[in-house]
Amino acid sequence: MSGVPRLLRLSVLAAALLTAGCAGWVRDNSTQLPKPWQRITADALPVTLPESQQFPVLAARMRSTGTVYKSYIAVLGNPTVLEGENRLTVDVQTLPDSLFGALVQPARVFPVPLYTMETLTKALNREFPEMEVKVADGGRRNRYGDYDYAVAQDEANTCVFAWQLITDHARMLPERIEAVRLEYRVCGASRNPRVLLQPFDGLMLTLPEGVLDAGDMGVL
């Protein structure tokens, strides 16, 4: 897919931002605040996960922020007694569908980069208190590219925390979608973190806008 239309569109939006004051741009518009979470069915999620007896999808919810961000949470089964929710979170950012929409955008619902060492340490301490946590020396790969993860363990349990930002328009994302953020948190009885990562390795995005399937890039 050619990047020329995308560059032209971004150039138009950038020029519009220079005249934002004339257009009456409002930074904190109440319509850009996150809406309350609402329950949805599992088949309404923009992702499918491999079937798993350990980590079935128990519930699903979504919310929107303005017109360009949609966030989804798939609550997964938890075979442990550890506190916290096994889950897959999907944040989808689309391009504004109008010039005015480009001028009145909500704050980004996820940071880029997704984590710094400081914010990652806080997140891991929050997710896995009193557990020994180690960030993996090397990343893994699913069909949408490389991702990073951490492993937490105690005497009886193993947990994984994985995160991924997808921005590859050349092979996967249609022009309408700016970025997709994935975050995966699972605790299980297996001592092998690769077993816990299998659902994340095998997930498939099914966004209405039509994410292209890059094919199996090979799991590391």
Kindly report, residue by residue over 58-76, the tens digit of the pLDDT: 999 999 998 899 999 999 9
Q: How far is CA 186 from the centre of its chain?
A: 15
* Alpha-carbon distance values, 42 to 48, 60, 217 (Å): 9, 6, 26
120: helix, strand or coil = helix
pLDDT in the model for residue 214 = 52
Query: Residues 161, 149: contact at Cβ < 8 Å?
Result: yes
Kindly state the average pLDDT of the residues 158-168: 96
In a domain, 180, yes or no: yes
Read off the pTM: 0.81
Cα 206 from chain centroid (whole Å): 13
* Contact (CB, 8 A) for 32 and 104: yes
Q: What is the mean pLDDT of residues 41-54?
A: 93
pLDDT at 173: 87
Q: Assess if residue 120 is contained within a domain.
A: yes
Tell me the CA distances in angstroms from 146 to 135, 137, 196, 220, one per residue in order: 15, 13, 17, 9
Q: Once rounded to an integer, what is the mean pLDDT over residues 99-111? A: 76
Model confidence at 136, pLDDT cuts 50, 70, 90, reads very high
Examine the pLDDT at 189 and tell me if it is beyond 90.
no
Mean pLDDT for all residues in the chain = 84
Confidence of residue 24 (pLDDT cuts 50, 70, 90): very low
Asked whether residue 56 is assigned to any structural domain, the reply reads yes
Classify residue 215: in a domain, yes or no.
Answer: no
pLDDT value of position 212: 53
Write down the pLDDT at residue 29: 58
Query: Which structure tokens are listed for 43?
Result: 């088949």
Q: Residue 219 domain-assigned?
A: no
According to the model, what pLDDT value does residue 117 have?
94
Q: Distance (Å, rounded) from C-alpha 67 to C-alpha 32?
A: 8
Interval 76-103: pLDDT, tens: 999 999 999 999 999 999 988 765 555 6
Of residues 188 and 29, more confidently modeled: 188
Per the structure, the count of domains in the chain is 1
Q: Does 210 fall in a domain?
A: no
Range list of β-strands (E), the chain: 38-40, 47-48, 57-65, 69-76, 87-94, 132-135, 140-142, 145-153, 158-166, 177-188, 204-205
Residue 176's pLDDT is 87
Cα–Cα nearest to 124, from 114, 134, 138: 134
Question: Would 90 be classed as within a structural domain?
Answer: yes
Q: Taking 50 as the threshold, does the pLDDT of residue 138 lie above it?
A: yes
Count of CB atoms situated within 10 Å of the CB of 137: 5
Q: Are 196 and 188 in contact (CB under 8 A)?
A: yes
Domain-located, residue 72:
yes
- pLDDT attached to residue 218: 45
Cα separation, 150 vs 158, whole angstroms: 11
- Contact assessment for residue 196 and residue 190, using Cβ atoms and an 8 Å cutoff: yes
Range of the domain at 201: 4-205
Q: What percent of the chain has pLDDT over 90?
A: 64
